[in-house]
Structure 1
Amino acid sequence: MGVRQYNMTVWWRALILLYCVLHFVEFSAPSAVPQRNKYKNSFRLTRTTRTRVQQLQRKYKEQQLGNKHFEDRSRQLKDLPSLSTDFNSWLKLTDWERLHAAFCDMQAYWNMLEWKRKQLEMEEKEQIAERVVRTTISQSIRHIQLDLRDLMKQVSSQLSYMQSSWMKPTSHKVQEPLNPETSSKTVWDRRVEGYIILRDLDLYLTKLARDFLLLASKI
């Protein structure tokens, strides 16, 4: 078993443990229940969004890369958040740090999806007849962006709840994206960029789901 596969196994075991804690420990103080339910709702939306991403990733690889089994773990995009996280460091994060990082990371993925969606829309305008027949990839990306925006609003609300209790309020608004830098010079490279964004977003949403389970189990 490789190191990457072992790390994923550890993460999934932690996820299962948190899920069990969340569903079997139901004796918290009544005042904590609404906040815990908010985290559980965020967990469910994260899981639904991840399913959308996985479905789109399969469609994207088939239509844009010509191979539904395409895989390339070696290529990265510098504008995407890092997925490397030490398990012990992850556990030691404060609730504030965890939510703030989640908001910033989701903003980064939303920006990258917006950038890629606009590129695809320009290409799809040249294929009007085909676009009428089936849902375009850019439309599917837009649906995922809406899910991410809803998640960011939920996290912003959760951060505001903490701030009203013990911190000076700060703004956590969804920002308009900047165009990420890219060194791509070929059509193939641009298409692979879309695959990388969806590939990393799939992995990131797994991590985000664990975050919400952990937050809910601590209340």
Structure 2
Amino acid sequence: MNIAAVILFLSLATLSTAAPSAPRGLQAAFLKSAALSRKILRDVQALITQYKEVRIGMPSFEDHTLLLSSLPSSQMSYTYWVDMQDEERLKLNCKDLQAFWVHVEIKRFHELSQPSVSTLVHSMEAMSLDLRDLISQLRGQIQALNSTVLDAPDISHSLRTPSCESDWLSNVQGYIIFRDLEIYLHKIIRDFILLQNKY
């Protein structure tokens, strides 16, 4: 495991042990997380536009047939989504956001390794910090519901998956990561709206 992988592992381990204490009011906590999710969504939308221009070379590039198997899916039947328990909903979002965070960090390290570091790296760093904050908020909400917080997932598979043989494929993988994160954030926001209306 290289240095970047070690740093990611230690950072993710910190996420598993540094969850905040349970919030006083769950409705306020869900409202706060919804606001942060909307901020991250705006930032990722801006990053996608910038990323396609800098790394893809085509600002209008769109391809929803491209997939990355290590990324969580936001597809879920409406009936299943409505019937989910609150703890189950929060745990799934927490686990999936951790997977996205790992992928964002991988692309950030890759960007830092480029001969000419672009402004993309600053946007990725800010997004990574916001994702970590949102994950911590989710862990606090899980604890507030008297539920067990999930252990940090094994990231070794995720660390290997985004590697590729060409710069073009690496750039396309970055597009897929940010595109899917944008889609998933819409689900996260919908979840928080549902939860804040319940409490």
User: Whole-Å Cα distance in 2 between the matches of residues 69 and 145 of structure 1?
Assistant: 25
Q: TM-score, normalised by structure 2?
A: 0.82
User: Whole-Å Cα distance in 2 between the matches of residues 47 and 152 of structure 1?
Assistant: 14
Alignment of 1:113 onto 2:100:
no
Corresponding position of 1:198? 178
Corresponding position of 2:77? 86
Which one is further off, 190-199 or 111-120?
Answer: 111-120
The 1:103/1:54 distance shift into structure 2, 3 A limit, reads same
User: Whole-Å Cα distance in 2 between the matches of residues 49 and 136 of structure 1?
Assistant: 17
What secondary structure is seen at the aligned counterpart in 2 of 1:98? helix
Alignment of 1:157 onto 2:140:
yes
**Would the aligned equivalents of 1:152 and 1:174 in 2 still touch at CA under 8 Å?**
no
User: Whole-Å Cα distance in 2 between the matches of residues 54 and 73 of structure 1?
Assistant: 15
**Would the aligned equivalents of 1:117 and 1:138 in 2 still touch at CA under 8 Å?**
yes
User: Whole-Å Cα distance in 2 between the matches of residues 79 and 99 of structure 1?
Assistant: 20
Corresponding position of 2:39? 48
Q: CA RMSD in A?
A: 2.0
Offset from partner CA, 1:7-32 (integer Å, 9 cap, x none): xxxxxxxxxxxxxxxxxxxxxxxxxx
User: Whole-Å Cα distance in 1 between the matches of residues 37 and 45 of structure 2?
Assistant: 12
Q: 64, 69, 74: which is aligned to 2:55?
A: 64
Corresponding position of 2:194? 214
User: Whole-Å Cα distance in 2 between the matches of residues 214 and 83 of structure 1?
Assistant: 16
Write the letter of the residue equivalent to 1:203. I
- Structure with more helix by fraction: 1
Shift of 1:177: 4.4
User: Whole-Å Cα distance in 1 between the matches of residues 48 and 69 of structure 2?
Assistant: 20
Write the letter of the residue equivalent to 1:210. R
Q: TM-score, normalised by structure 1?
A: 0.75
Q: Structure 1: which 5+ residue stretches go unaligned?
A: 1-32
User: Whole-Å Cα distance in 1 between the matches of residues 175 and 105 of structure 2?
Assistant: 14
Shift of 1:184: 2.7
Runs of 4+ in 1 over 6 A off after TM superposition: none
Give the number of aligned pairs.
Answer: 175
Write the letter of the residue equivalent to 1:50. L
Larger-Rg structure: 1
Query: Equivalent residues in 2 for 1:119-134 (5 A)?
Result: 119-123=110-114, 126-127=115-116, 131=117
Identity of aligned residues (%): 34
